[in-house]
Amino acid sequence: MMNLVLIVGGLLVLTIIIALVRVSSLISVARKERTKIDKSSNKVNGLLMLIFLIVSGVVTIWYSISTFDDYNLPIASEHGLETDRLFWITMVITGFIFVLTNILLFYFSFRYQYNEDRRAYFFPDNNKLEIIWTVVPAIVLTLLVIVGISTWNDITGKAPKDSEVIEIMGFQFAWVTRYPGKDNKLGNYNYRLIDAENLFGLDFSDRNAHDDFMPRELHLPKGKPVLLKIRARDVIHSVFAPHFRLKMDAVPGMPTQFWFVPIKTTEEMRVETGNDEFNYEIACTELCGKGHFTMRLLVIVHELEDYEKWKATQQPWLAKNPDYISKIPEEMRELAMINAGISLDEK
Amino acid sequence: MAIADIHVAEDTHHEDHLDHEQSFVTKYIFSQDHKTIAKQFLITGIFWALMGGLMSLVFRLQLGFPEATLEWLRPIFGGWITESGKLEPEFYLAMVTMHGTIMVFFVLTAGLSGTFSNFLIPLQIGARDMASGFMNMLSYWFFFVSSVVMFISLFIETGPAMGGWVIYPPLSALPQAISGSGLGMTMWLIAMMFFIVSTMLGGINYITTIINLRTRGMSFTRLPLTIWAFFLTAILGLLSFPVLVAAVLLLIFDRSFGTSFYLSDIYIGGEALPNSGGSPILFQHLFWFLGHPEVYIVILPALGITSEIISTNSRKPIFGYKAMIGSLMAIAILSFVVWAHHMFITGMNPFLGSVFMLLTFIIAVPSAIKVFNYITTLWRGNIIFTPAMLFSIGLVSFFITGGVTGIFLGSAALDIQLHDTYFVVAHFHIVMGSAAFFGMVAGVYHWFPKMFGRMMDARLGYIHFWMSFVGVYSVFFPMHYIGIAGFPRRYYSFTNFDAFNSYADLNALITIAAFITMSAQFIFLFNFFYSIFRGRKTPQNPWNSNTLEWTAPINPEHGNWPGEIPTVYRWPYDYSKPGAKEDFIPQNIPFSETPESNFPNETESIKLQGIDKGDAIIVDETEE
């Protein structure tokens, strides 16, 4: 209620200001000749152009420098180093053009204000100038395209054969991950087999699925290529790991992938940032519904040997959910239990 | 000469027509007069701009002051405010979605093109009206129906569409996924269908009128750049909107008739859907095949308007008239082959990514040419800061800033990090949203005297400009930093992530700036409506402009010119011509009347013009 009063009050004040301006302008109209150009306001506007240029320039430079570390997230992947380099090359080139053109725009506005005694310079065209500012941007942009495409091709090229294959799947509203287990092969899935427990819709008639395991976080080895197999099961999501400069949509019915090499463990990053609670995260960047902003997945990067140790301690999903053994075709059950590391006696 | 033929016939026809007394309904409501229709588009556009702007304030409140209670909004939003006085997250998404839809389609397409194409095309090319006044009227009323449907969808129980203005399926196809994808989405789709019909009717009319109804002497190389821009915009719309029809139609089939164009392998709400074989990516291709030309449909008219205003108020010819037309054409053509730069990280083949990146960079060249030409037009000009001029300079600044960030986003490798972050929000709000909006406002200030026969108050205009200009930069410039830091778009709150749990102060600043910017628009609204009734009466040609609309009476009747339509003898940019008496020579002044300022080749053409005139008279006689 208080706020409402405040707003109404604000509007009233605004109205009063408007009325005052109006009265003053009506008076000035009455005094002035009709078609004459109002020189004083022309001067004020011209000056404001210059002031805007200077003030905004100073504020931008000051803010960009003083908060540099806040908006530049530390890089945690090999290709991230490349994209960041490209980013800053682009920043320097476009920044130069940006500053130059804005300075010219506002300075000319200020400099060439109306003056009755002067005529504007009749300058309808000049082919030389036109050619210069067609060719120069074209060359600069070509350079950027060449660097950009080669970077893009490096990143999106084929994943190395020895990559660690991990699956990540988005659904409303969480991420889940799946590791291939001892056989290093992810088992088949079928979305019709999904239920409240079997989030991935694992198809246990495929023996590769028996030893797949699903930790609650995404664990990654440092220094080894990781191939993320990405999918979604309801609407489009998008895997975004800001520190790894990694983003790829998760599309229902169309699996996608992204490979990268983590270069810093979580521990190393904690030291680097001086933040003991630092954690890598994955967020969703494609609008997926009410809980879009809550889709967080914790990412942990280990040293390679720690990663292997961690993997060895993980129990296959089937072993944690033995009820599903009854759904496996009779002749495969024994194999499944062996693969999942369940002792045959338990049954 | 065939053109002249038709034209003469048209003239007499109209003069007969004008004698009829018009009833209130045919004059102000179901009017076929392009000027009235333009005003209808403008007023509807202003209404929607207000709605869209207020919606943005609602979600800015949530983003800037997540702790604050919004209990005081309960009288308006009812159940969409939670028990604890917070905005319902789904309603937040609804606001974001409707803000986008309204601004892109209803304000910056219908409000901008609808207003100025309708108003200026006949007046600037020297025509009595549009080629088909009836279709023109239908165009507005289809837009009106579309507006009504969209407006009603705001008040239904399950809420309006919530899947973002790009309505990607499956989210937009499945009511189980979000409540707005129920009835709200259906109404969105229906409204959009009506909207497309409206755009088609308008576009066909604009193109036909420009090609066929130009007055004597108004060759394509003497058209003001505004008309060139409207012409190319209409062609873009005509070629791209039908693709949206296809996309929307398939989506309607998927939603209502069980087809699987966009749906495949979906498990939602505890059940597996039977759909299989569809591709959500197909929708994105179809959508952006419209969507990318659409951003040029939004910005080209603004660039056209700006070219005219900057030239007039610099008292200088626009620099590189032909290069300006050339770059408009290049932008128009290239805009059809860059759509997939919105989709670099959808899992599309990376090779396609390289191709679209290359094409995207090519389109930067004509955009750069335009900027350099604007700046050169200002150089050694004699600049008068009318409010329209200020807004045009503002537009150029936005076009530079937003264009530069486009280079980042167009680069596929950089887009990996920047896609769907606030960097994108900053980019398109500056280059497309604010720039086009400034173009529209500049146009209103500039042609208000022609529309209503009165002037808007300049001083309020200055205040409006400086508050808006500084406001827009304060809102969107900081978003670049947040974007580089990786903050994703369309997030209700950032507190769930360590990586995004900062910048609370910057977000608060943006919200405050948004409120200031919005309040400046009320100054404009006041100025606009007050001046319609009480503004200063305008002189015949308040800006000493060259184009034909200023030769029409101050309050033109239906038919625009009471007698003969003026003939055009020169291009529209003879400002400050060396030797001329005044610093402007309108298009309808023959070279024979300005011997003191003619260039040698123009003196030559006096003879030709004489022949031209004689020729037309002969045609006239044969007609009878």
Q: Which phi and psi angles does A317 have, rounded to 5°?
A: -60, -40
- Is residue B498 within 8 angstroms of chain A, CB to CB? yes
- Has residue B145 got a pLDDT over 50? yes
Distance CA B518, CA B49 (A): 10
DSSP conformational letter for A198: -
Whole-angstrom distance, CA of residue A333 vs CA of residue A205: 9
* pLDDT computed for residue B619 by the predictor: 40
Which helix (DSSP H) or strand (DSSP E) does residue A257 occupy?
strand A256-260
Q: Do B393 and A22 touch (CB under 8 A)?
A: no
Supply the pLDDT for residue A22. Answer: 67
3-class secondary structure for B373-395?
Answer: HHHHHHCCCCECCCHHHHHHHHH
Q: How many domains are contained in chain B?
A: 1
Residues 246-305 of chain B with CB under 8 A from chain A are 263-268, 270, 272, 276-281
Helix H or strand E segment including B313: helix B280-314
User: Does B362 contact A141 at a Cβ distance shorter than 8 Å?
Assistant: yes
Q: What pLDDT digit, counting tens, does each position of A176-209 carry?
A: 999 998 888 999 999 999 998 899 999 988 889 9
- Tens digits of residue pLDDT in B365-408: 999 999 999 999 999 999 999 999 999 999 999 999 999 999 99
Which residues of chain B are within 8 Å of residue A134 when distances are taken between CB atoms? 365, 369
Contact (CB<8Å) B414/A90: yes
Chain B residues lying within 8 Å of A257, measured CB to CB: 347
Sequence letter at residue B205: N
Query: Which DSSP symbol is given to A202?
Result: B
Contact in structure between A296 and B501 (CB atoms under 8 Å)? no
Contact between A156 and B353 using a beta-carbon 8 Å cutoff? yes
CB atoms closer than 10 angstroms to residue B42: 25
Q: Distance, in angstroms, between A286 CA and closest chain B CA?
A: 7
* Rounded Cα–Cα distance for residues B394 and B397 (Å): 5
Contact of B484 with chain A, judged by CB distance below 8 Å, is answered with: yes
State the nearest Cα–Cα gap between B623 and chain A, in angstroms. 40
Mutate to test the interface with A, among B265, B322, B454, B516 (most CBs of A within 10 A): B265
Beta-carbon separation of B457 and A71 below 8 A: no
Task: Give ipTM to 2 decimals.
Answer: 0.92
Tell me which residue in A98, A148, A236 faces B170 most closely, judged by beta carbons: A236
In chain B, whose CA is at the least distance from the CA of A95?
B404
Q: Which two tokens stand for residue A343?
A: 């002792």
User: Is B257 inside a domain boundary?
Assistant: yes
For the stretch B294-323, pLDDT in tens is: 999 999 999 999 999 999 999 999 999 999
User: What is residue B412's predicted lDDT score, i.e. its pLDDT?
Assistant: 94
Task: Give the domain range for residue B413.
Answer: 2-537
Q: Find the CB nearest B354 among A4, A87, A153.
A: A153
Positions in chain A whose pLDDT score sits under 70:
1-3, 17-18, 21-22, 24-26, 28-36, 345-347
CB contact under 8 A, B419 and A247: yes
- Which residue from B403, B318, B369, B364 is spatially nearest to A131, judged by alpha carbons? B369
Instruction: Answer whether A254 sits within 8 Å of B382, measured CB to CB.
Output: no
Angle at B172 between CA B90 and CA B86, to 5 degrees: 5
d(CA B575, CA B544): 9
**Cβ atoms of B482 and A71 closer than 8 Å:** yes
Q: Which tens digit of pLDDT belongs to each residue from B387-396? A: 999 999 999 9
> Among all chains, which residue has been given the structure tokens 């930093």?
B481
- Alpha-carbon gap, residue B394 to B91, rounded angstroms: 33
Give A301's DSSP letter. E
For residue B439, pLDDT over 90 is answered with yes
Joined together, the tokens standing for residue B536 give 């200063």
B606 assigned to some structural domain = no
Can you give the CATH number for the domain in which B93 is found? 1.20.210.10
User: Are B189 and B248 a contacting pair, CB within 8 Å?
Assistant: yes
Supply angle C-alpha B247, B251, B255, rounded to 5.
Answer: 175
- Domain membership of residue B379 (yes or no) is yes
| pLDDT of amino acid B536 | 87
Catalogue all structural domains in chain A, each as residue range(s) with its CATH number. Answer: 38-114+126-157 (no CATH), 164-341 (2.60.40.420)
Rounded to the nearest integer, the mean pLDDT of chain B is: 90
Q: Chain A partners of B280 at a C-beta cutoff of 8 Å?
A: 236, 251-254
Q: If you measure CA to CA, which chain A residue comes closest to B597?
A: A122
Q: Is residue B564 part of a domain?
A: no
- Asked whether residue B594 is domain-assigned, the answer is no
Residues B85-137 have pLDDT tens digits of: 899 999 999 999 999 999 999 999 999 999 999 999 999 999 999 999 999 99
A76 and A264 in contact (C-beta within 8 Å)? yes
Is residue B540 within 8 angstroms of chain A, CB to CB? no
Answer yes or no: is B559 within a domain. Answer: no
Q: Is residue B167 part of a domain?
A: yes
Q: Is B57 on the interface with A (CB under 8 A)?
A: no
CB contact under 8 A, B346 and A87: no
Regarding beta strands B271-272 and B267-268, do their DSSP bridges make them parallel or antiparallel, or are they unpaired?
antiparallel
Per-residue pLDDT tens over the stretch B467-489: 999 999 999 999 999 999 999 99
Beta bridge partners of A260: A226
Q: Please indicate whether, in this complex, the C-beta atoms of A114 and B397 are within 8 angstroms of each other.
A: no
- When CB atoms are compared, the residue of A1, A233, A257 closest to B267 is A233
Q: How many CB atoms lie within 10 A of CB B6?
A: 11
Q: Where does residue B99 rank: exposed (0-12), middle (13-18), buried (19+ CB within 10 A)?
A: buried
For residue A29, the chain B residues in CB contact (below 8 A) are 536
If you count residue pairs, one on A and one on B, with CB atoms under 8 Å apart, how many are there? 367
pLDDT per residue as tens digits for the range A246-259: 999 999 999 999 99
pLDDT at residue B24 is higher than 90 = no
